[in-house]
C-alpha cells in the first residue's frame, strides 16, 4: 500500500510489482503534478494511468465524472479501478486503450502523461499528435520525461509552443492548444 499526499489531498494506492513505480509515486509524476494546474471544472485524461495516481488526484479535487484514466495494461486498469474505490472517488471512467486507439472521448481541458520515454519515439509521437486533437481550444497537454530536446521540439511543432520546467532531473512540458490545426507537420 502506498500512502501519498498530492497537493493537500491524502491518497492511498494498491499496486502490483509488475506495474510502473510499485513502491511509491514516481518522482517524475509527482513533479508534473506539482506544476500542472488542474481545476475542479477540468475534463481530465490520465493517459497511461498505471495504477492511477494522476487521474485519482484529479477526481479527488474535481468531478470524478469528468475524469478518464487509460492504460494499455489490463493489470494497470484493474488497479486504477480498485484505487478509485479505495479513495472514494468512483465515477471516473477507466478504459483499456493503447494510447488513443480505443478512447472515443474528446474535448479534454487537460491531458497528463508520463510517457515511456525509454522506448522509441513512435509512442510519444502518437500521444502528442492525437492528444492535440482531443483537447479543447485552450486545453493543455502536460508531460514529464527525463529527456528534453525531442519532446520540446515535437510539442512545439504540433502546438506552436511549449513551456519547459526542469525539476530534479525531470522535464515538465506544458503545451496549450491555440489553433484548430498543427502548427507545422513534423
Q: What does the pLDDT average to over 94-123?
A: 91
Alpha carbon separation from 113 to 29, 38, 39, 86, 184 (Å, rounded): 8, 13, 17, 22, 22
Order of strands across the sheet that contains 135-145: 93-96, 67-71, 44-47, 108-113, 135-145, 170-176, 163-167
Q: What is the pLDDT of residue 159?
A: 97
**Domain regions of the chain by residue span:** 2-176
Q: Strand pairing of 9-13 and 2-6?
A: antiparallel
Positive or negative, the CA dihedral 174, 177, 183, 186 is: positive
- What CATH superfamily is the domain 2-176? Vaccinia Virus protein VP39 (3.40.50.150)
Please indicate, yes or no, whether the overall pTM of this predicted structure exceeds 0.75. yes
Amino acid at each position: 500500500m502506498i500512502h501519498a499526499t498530492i497537493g493537500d489531498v491524502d491518497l492511498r494506492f494498491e499496486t502490483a510489482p509488475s506495474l510502473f513505480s510499485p513502491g511509491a509515486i514516481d518522482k517524475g509524476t509527482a513533479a508534473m503534478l506539482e506544476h500542472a494546474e488542474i481545476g475542479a471544472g477540468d475534463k481530465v485524461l490520465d493517459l497511461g494511468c498505471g495504477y492511477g495516481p494522476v487521474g485519482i488526484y484529479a477526481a479527488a479535487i474535481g468531478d470524478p465524472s469528468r475524469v478518464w484514466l487509460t492504460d494499455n495494461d489490463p493489470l494497470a486498469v484493474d488497479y486504477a479501478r480498485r484505487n478509485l474505490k479505495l479513495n472514494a472517488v468512483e465515477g471516473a471512467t477507466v478504459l483499456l486503450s493503447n494510447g488513443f486507439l480505443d478512447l472515443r472521448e474528446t474535448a479534454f481541458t487537460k491531458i497528463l502523461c508520463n510517457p515511456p520515454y525509454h522506448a522509441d519515439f513512435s509512442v510519444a509521437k502518437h500521444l502528442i499528435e492525437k492528444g492535440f486533437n482531443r483537447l479543447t481550444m485552450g486545453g493543455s497537454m502536460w508531460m514529464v520525461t527525463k529527456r528534453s530536446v525531442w519532446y520540446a521540439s515535437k510539442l512545439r511543432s504540433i502546438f506552436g509552443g511549449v513551456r519547459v520546467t526542469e525539476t530534479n532531473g525531470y522535464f515538465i512540458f506544458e503545451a496549450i492548444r491555440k489553433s484548430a490545426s498543427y502548427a507545422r507537420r513534423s
